[in-house]
Each structure stands twice: as structure tokens, then as C-alpha cells.
């Protein structure tokens, strides 16, 4: 009986810690307002993209453990080989000991820069894997894009990747494609996990007193590592890329998920460094968020934009109906990707104009 009471007490303690320490506040009030999608009916080309998603890493998926992880990493890196390099230079560089590459377009500006943080669930991805995106961003905006290889889990704790992003940000302020030179305009962008890091980074730069970016772009970002967004449930059958994972997670009691998140990242999942949605969202630079109405992270995007706007920060949400997670990575083969990238470039231009009309609003 004594051991049974101890077990019950332990379970109660673990539940209480998950409920009152790891879960964070209820943010369901930020599920509204909603936003009209840019496009409601997916293009015919989207069917081919869906098939690619289903076949992604098919050989690696049959492996287990490290072999599976390495296989998925190799398959994801290979996606970048489809990048159109016409008029594009790709130059390896070390940014404060962090492996990276400069992506520059002919006629682009060396003192207008963008730090790109790749996605991949903090375990996959690289500068190479996302070249379809980074080359298109450089080509369409004229920005010099620095894509970094931040440290990944599980070899490193999540805080190591965060530290790499912060060091790269500081380095980018004083270094361009040709060497040391001050930045004139600065942007940060990322997708999925990289979107999470992007939104973390702009709040950190504000709190650290650093020169803020002129704008930030988050594509299908994870904003809440406590996994509290309702779309994780109602879109689990609509999201072809992340849906299978969501179906597994939704079968696990919430307190266990929170403890798993704590053990995996070695940090409280409600910490704003892991869940930027749960931090101070005031006094941030302009933010553009793009997401699909069909993905499990749509409410992460919606809640972040609604909460940032409620706290006075300029934030925009653009959504597409029925798209796969981070559809922008399919570049010119998908009309919706072309639309999204064009709107991304338009956002960059609006931020440029904003800086021109309010030059004293930013500090060097």
C-alpha cells in the first residue's frame, strides 16, 4: 500500500508540474480573428507536389535509429540540388565558426542582407537543403542571403542551435559577402523550425539592444513548443507532411507530451526561447507569416500574428488553402510557391520603403 501511495503521489506531482509549469497560459483567445486565404483552390501542379511529399525519404523511412536520421538528412539535402543557379553565386563561408554560405544574385546588394534559418524539426536540414528557397529570395529581393548550418538535435541540445543563430546575427551586422562591412538593411527569415528560430531571434535582438532587423519572415512556423494549438488535432488528416506525426502525438496524454518535450529539448517547452508565441511580442519589427490552412501549424501562425498585433507590433498573416507544409520550397514548379515568394519580395520592398520614410526609427 505504501508503494502504491508513493506511485500515486509521484504521478500527481508530475501531472501538476506539467499542468502549471510546462504548459503555460491558455492562448485560445488568439485563435480569432481569422484571415482570408490568398488562394482557395489548389493548382493542378499541387498533386505532383503531394506525391513528392509522400515519396520523400522512402528508403530512409524503412530504416531505424541513426540510419533513418542520416538517410532523411541526405534526402532533404538533395532537395537543394534542384535550385536554379542561373545568375546566382553560392559562396561557402564561416560565420563566427558556424558553417554557412552566401547566396547572392547578379546585381544584388552586399549591404542589404538576410539571415536564413532552415527548417527540419531541429534535426534535419542545412543551407544546401534549402537552396531552392534561398536562391529565389536572393533573386527576387536583391538581398545577400546568409544561410547557416546551425547545430542540430539530437547530437546537440536545442539551445546550441539557438546560440548559433544569435552568433550568426551578430556576425551578419558587421560582415557581408565581400568581407567586413556594416549592414545597411537587415532581414531574418526561416521556415518551420527555422521560423521558430526567426521569431525567437527578433525578440532576443530587441532585448539585447542590438540593431533590429528591418523585417522578419516566418514560413509555416512552429511558434508554440507546448503543442497547444487546436490545428494539431483538426488538421491531422489534412496535412500530408506533418499529419502522420500529429496523429501519433494526439494519442499521447498532454502531460506526457510536455515531459517528452522537456526531455528532448532539455528546456521548459513554454520558455519563450522555445515558444516565441509565449514571450513579449511588443516593439518588434514588421513580421510576415505565411502558412497553409491545411497544415497542423496554422494556429501557431494565427495565434502569433494575433497576439503580436494585440501587443502593438506590425504583423501580417497570409494563408493559402490546401497547401503542404512549407510549399514555398517547391519554387517555380508550383504556382502557389511563386505567389508566396512574390508576396515575400513585396513585403521586403515595403520594409525598405518604411525605413526610407522613418530613418531614425532604427539604430545602427
Handedness of CA 300, 304, 310, 315 (dihedral sign): negative
Alpha-carbon distance of 324 to 302, in angstroms, equals 17
- Predicted local distance difference test score (pLDDT) of residue 260: 67
Count of beta carbons in the 10 Å neighbourhood of residue 222:
29
Q: Tell me which residue of 309, 324, 138 sits closest to 220, measured CA to CA.
A: 324
Q: Is 325 a catalytic residue?
A: yes
Q: Is the peptide bond before 358 cis (omega within 30 degrees of 0)?
A: no
The residue with cell 550568426 is: 168
Whether the CB-CB separation of 102 and 146 falls below 8 Å is answered with yes
Annotation says 130 is catalytic: no
Active site residue 43: no
Catalytic member of 136, 236, 293, 295:
295
| Distance (Å, whole) CA 300 – CA 323 | 16
Q: What is the model's pLDDT at position 58?
A: 73
Query: Of residues 101, 118, 129, 192, which has the active-site annotation?
Result: 192
Asked if residues 31 and 303 have their Cβ atoms less than 8 Å apart, the reply is yes
At 252, list the grid cell: 499521447
| Structure confidence at residue 11 (pLDDT) | 52
* One pLDDT digit (tens) per residue for the chain, 364 residues: 655 555 445 555 444 555 555 556 778 888 888 778 887 789 999 999 999 888 886 776 777 778 899 999 999 999 999 999 999 999 999 999 999 999 999 999 999 999 999 999 999 999 999 999 999 999 999 999 999 999 999 999 999 999 999 999 999 999 999 999 999 999 999 999 999 999 999 999 999 999 999 999 999 999 999 999 999 999 999 998 888 888 887 787 776 776 666 667 677 888 999 999 999 999 999 999 999 999 999 999 999 999 999 999 999 999 999 999 999 999 888 999 999 999 999 999 999 988 767 654 444 4
Instruction: Please tell me which residue in 273, 325, 336, 339 is annotated as part of the active site.
Output: 325
At residue 290, φ and ψ (nearest 5 deg) are -120, 135
Distance from C-alpha of 49 to C-alpha of 45, rounded to nearest angstrom: 7
Ramachandran angles phi, psi of 196, nearest 5°: -60, -45
Alpha-carbon gap, residue 18 to 254, rounded angstroms: 8
* 1/49 Cα distance (integer angstroms): 58
Amino acid at each position: 500500500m505504501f508503494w502504491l501511495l508513493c506511485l500515486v503521489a509521484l504521478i500527481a506531482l508530475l501531472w501538476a508540474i506539467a499542468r502549471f509549469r510546462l504548459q503555460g497560459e491558455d492562448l485560445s483567445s488568439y485563435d480569432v480573428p481569422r484571415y482570408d486565404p490568398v488562394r482557395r483552390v489548389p493548382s493542378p501542379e499541387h498533386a505532383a507536389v503531394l506525391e513528392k511529399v509522400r515519396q520523400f525519404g522512402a528508403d530512409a523511412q524503412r530504416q531505424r535509429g541513426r540510419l533513418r536520421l542520416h538517410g532523411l538528412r541526405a534526402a532533404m539535402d538533395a532537395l537543394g540540388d534542384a535550385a536554379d543557379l542561373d545568375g546566382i553565386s553560392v559562396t561557402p563561408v564561416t560565420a563566427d565558426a558556424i558553417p554557412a554560405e552566401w547566396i547572392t544574385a547578379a546585381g544584388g546588394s552586399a549591404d542589404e542582407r538576410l539571415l536564413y534559418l532552415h527548417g527540419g524539426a531541429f534535426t534535419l536540414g542545412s543551407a544546401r537543403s534549402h537552396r531552392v528557397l534561398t536562391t529565389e529570395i536572393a533573386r527576387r529581393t536583391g538581398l545577400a542571403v546568409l544561410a547557416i548550418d546551425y547545430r542540430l538535435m539530437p547530437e546537440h541540445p536545442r539551445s546550441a542551435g539557438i546560440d548559433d543563430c544569435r552568433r550568426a546575427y551578430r556576425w551578419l551586422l558587421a560582415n557581408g559577402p565581400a568581407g567586413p562591412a556594416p549592414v545597411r538593411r537587415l532581414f531574418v527569415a526561416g521556415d518551420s523550425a527555422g521560423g521558430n528560430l526567426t521569431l525567437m531571434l527578433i525578440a532576443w535582438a530587441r532585448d539585447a539592444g542590438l540593431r533590429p532587423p528591418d523585417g522578419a519572415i516566418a514560413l509555416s512556423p512552429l511558434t508554440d513548443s507546448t503543442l497547444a494549438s487546436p490545428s494539431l488535432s483538426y488538421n491531422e488528416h489534412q496535412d500530408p507532411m506533418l499529419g502522420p506525426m500529429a496523429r501519433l502525438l494526439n494519442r499521447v496524454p498532454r502531460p506526457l507530451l510536455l515531459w517528452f518535450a522537456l526531455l528532448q529539448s532539455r528546456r521548459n517547452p513554454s520558455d519563450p526561447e522555445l515558444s516565441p508565441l509565449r514571450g513579449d511580442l511588443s516593439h518588434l519589427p514588421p513580421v510576415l507569416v505565411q502558412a497553409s490552412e491545411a497544415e497542423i501549424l496554422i494556429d501557431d501562425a494565427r495565434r502569433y500574428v494575433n497576439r503580436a498585433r494585440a501587443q502593438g507590433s506590425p504583423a501580417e498573416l497570409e494563408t493559402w488553402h490546401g497547401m503542404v507544409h512549407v510549399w514555398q520550397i517547391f519554387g517555380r514548379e508550383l504556382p502557389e510557391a511563386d505567389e508566396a515568394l512574390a508576396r515575400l519580395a513585396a513585403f521586403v520592398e515595403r520594409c525598405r520603403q518604411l525605413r526610407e520614410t522613418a530613418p531614425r526609427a532604427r539604430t545602427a
